[in-house]
């Protein structure tokens, strides 16, 4: 472990909101395009399958870039890499704002996905530069920005999409990102911790290959057909390259991903639980807005506009924000293991109850609030558990890998929930089939099972010595 000269210390009360603003921007960039999804083929003059690359490209870029940015942050400076990540977000937003074609829009979304590492880098910076008594609440607050950004981004995007030129979405996001970038440069000091070694270029390339193959299968299987060559080919590539990559990483002295650390029980269990909780979390993003926006004529829909649906989801993000002090206190008193267990249990219980609360807008808002509380507690505990169990020189890379695990969960959720909810909107000559509520109940049940399985995994975590 090497220690580089640290920048002049800054006041912690400014560091925390500035770093959190960077995480908020990253989260907003990921969700800003969601209200535009139905209109993308028309807006970009593209076939629906081609237009879906606007989402897929962001997913692929973020999955590969997050662990890479984390490792580079450990080696070359976390603040430096966070500045790079925010810069990519801003440039990507400008590209999307200037786009009138699918190609430039996809380029912009790739750059925005590549900037997703800002959140785990910010969390690791907090661990390095804040006093010990401020770290718990700061990390919880930073973690909450992932949900808060979505809660802000969805209604804001819907408002602009319904009333103005959609390009304004990206101009606004780029301006907010530029402000966050300037604030990080002006306020946040660099961590003095550095990891030695040379950057693992081969490991990064191998990770990119097998992750891209895996995520293409998950995200495009429904569209391309699970047995089509376009899906079987990437699946085969991922199956072959992943074990070869793992063997190569195990032989490296300074690997991109330290697999010996990741198989330690606390790290492995936390990452597995993260996949399941990420799956359940995205279930709320998929299920609740569709139920709100489905026409009343279906017999189960609540007939809300895109903007109204976004506003109904906004309390969930506010709960995540205001729950961060609660998660910090719970972690300080009982340990991050307990916080993760409670969060996953609350999330799973909310989805289990949701099967009986689908008949009024206030019921959906209530479910969104309770799921937001569960997500806030769980997401705040994950980075703490990870950083408690990895060497100090690997915190950013380990947090990046944990973020990747959550992304894998959300990707699987997107694919599976799309299949489950497809039956809800199948129509016949007589109108919507009466299977709509059944499809939503099944989706809720799957999300609840994922979260509660994550809670059971938490029992495998060793108890922390207080």
Same fold: 1-197 with 258-466: yes
CA 349, 351, 355, 359 torsion: positive or negative?
A: positive
- Which of these, 304, 210, 214, 200, lies nearest to 255 by C-alpha position? 200
Q: Return the residue matching tokens 């380029």.
A: 107
**CATH 1.20.1250.20 assigned to 258-466:** yes
pLDDT at 214: 87
Distance CA 20, CA 126 (A): 10
Distance CA 36, CA 46 (A): 14
Q: What is the pLDDT along the chain (466 residues), one digit of tens a residue?
A: 555 444 544 456 688 888 888 888 888 887 788 777 777 888 888 887 777 788 888 888 888 888 888 888 888 888 999 999 999 999 999 999 998 888 899 999 999 988 888 888 888 888 888 887 787 778 887 877 777 777 777 777 777 777 778 888 899 889 999 999 999 998 888 887 777 678 888 988 998 899 888 888 887 887 788 888 888 999 999 999 999 999 998 888 888 888 888 888 888 999 999 999 988 988 887 788 778 877 777 667 777 877 787 788 778 878 887 887 888 888 888 888 999 999 999 999 999 988 888 788 888 889 889 998 998 899 888 888 888 888 877 777 788 888 888 888 887 887 788 777 766 655 444 444 445 677 788 888 999 999 999 999 999 888 766 5
- CA 385 vs CA 140, 303, 333, 338, 398: distances in Å: 12, 42, 15, 11, 11
Fold adopted by 1-197: Growth Hormone; Chain: A; (1.20.1250)
pTM to 2 decimal places: 0.82
CA 271, 369, 66, 76 torsion: positive or negative?
A: negative
The DSSP code for 197 is S
Distance CA 130, CA 114 (A): 26
Q: Give the containing element (helix H, strand E) for 139.
A: helix 132-163
Token digits of residue 115 = 């900037």
Domains of the chain, residue spans: 1-197, 201-251, 258-466
């Amino acid at each position: 472990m090497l220690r580089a000269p640290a920048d002049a210390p800054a006041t912690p009360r400014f560091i925390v909101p500035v770093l959190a603003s960077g995480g908020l921007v990253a989260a907003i960039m990921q969700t800003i395009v969601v209200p535009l999804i139905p209109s993308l083929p028309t807006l970009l003059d593209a076939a629906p399958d081609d237009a879906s690359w606007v989402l897929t490209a962001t997913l692929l870029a973020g999955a590969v870039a997050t662990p890479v940015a984390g490792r580079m942050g450990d080696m070359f400076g976390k603040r430096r890499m966070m500045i790079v990540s925010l810069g990519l977000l801003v440039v990507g937003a400008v590209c999307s704002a200037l786009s009138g074609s699918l190609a430039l829009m996809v380029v912009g979304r790739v750059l925005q996905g590549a900037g997703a590492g800002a959140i785990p880098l910010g969390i690791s910076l907090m661990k390095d530069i804040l006093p010990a008594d401020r770290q718990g609440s700061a990390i919880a607050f930073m973690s909450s920005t992932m949900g808060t950004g979505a809660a802000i981004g969805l209604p804001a995007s819907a408002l602009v999409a319904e009333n103005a030129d959609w390009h304004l979405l990206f101009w606004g996001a780029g301006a907010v990102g530029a402000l966050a970038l300037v604030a990080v440069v002006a306020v946040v000091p660099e961590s003095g911790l550095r990891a030695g070694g040379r950057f693992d270029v081969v490991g990064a390339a191998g990770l990119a290959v097998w992750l891209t193959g895996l995520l293409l299968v998950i995200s495009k299987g429904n569209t391309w057909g699970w047995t089509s060559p376009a899906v079987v080919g990437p699946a085969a590539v991922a199956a072959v390259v992943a074990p070869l990559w793992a063997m190569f990483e195990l032989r490296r002295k300074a690997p991109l991903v330290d697999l010996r650390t990741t198989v330690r029980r606390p790290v492995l269990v936390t990452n597995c639980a993260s996949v399941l909780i990420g799956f359940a979390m995205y279930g709320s993003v998929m299920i609740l807005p569709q139920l709100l926006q489905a026409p009343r004529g279906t017999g189960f829909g609540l007939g809300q506009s895109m903007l109204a649906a976004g506003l109904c989801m906004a309390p969930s993000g506010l709960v995540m924000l205001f729950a961060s002090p609660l998660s910090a206190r719970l972690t300080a008193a009982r340990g991050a293991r307990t916080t993760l267990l409670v969060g996953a249990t609350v999330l799973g219980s909310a989805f289990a109850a949701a099967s009986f609360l689908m008949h009024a807008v206030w019921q959906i808002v209530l479910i969104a609030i309770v799921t937001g509380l569960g997500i806030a507690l769980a997401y705040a505990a994950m980075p703490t558990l990870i950083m408690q169990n990895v060497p100090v020189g690997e915190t950013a890379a380990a947090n990046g890998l944990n973020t990747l695990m959550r992304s894998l969960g959300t990707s699987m959720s997107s694919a599976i929930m799309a299949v489950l909810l497809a039956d809800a909107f199948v129509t016949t000559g007589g109108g919507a089939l009466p299977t709509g509520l059944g499809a939503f109940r099944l989706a809720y049940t799957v999300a609840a099972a994922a979260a509660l399985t994550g809670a059971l995994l938490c029992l495998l975590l060793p108890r922390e010595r207080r």
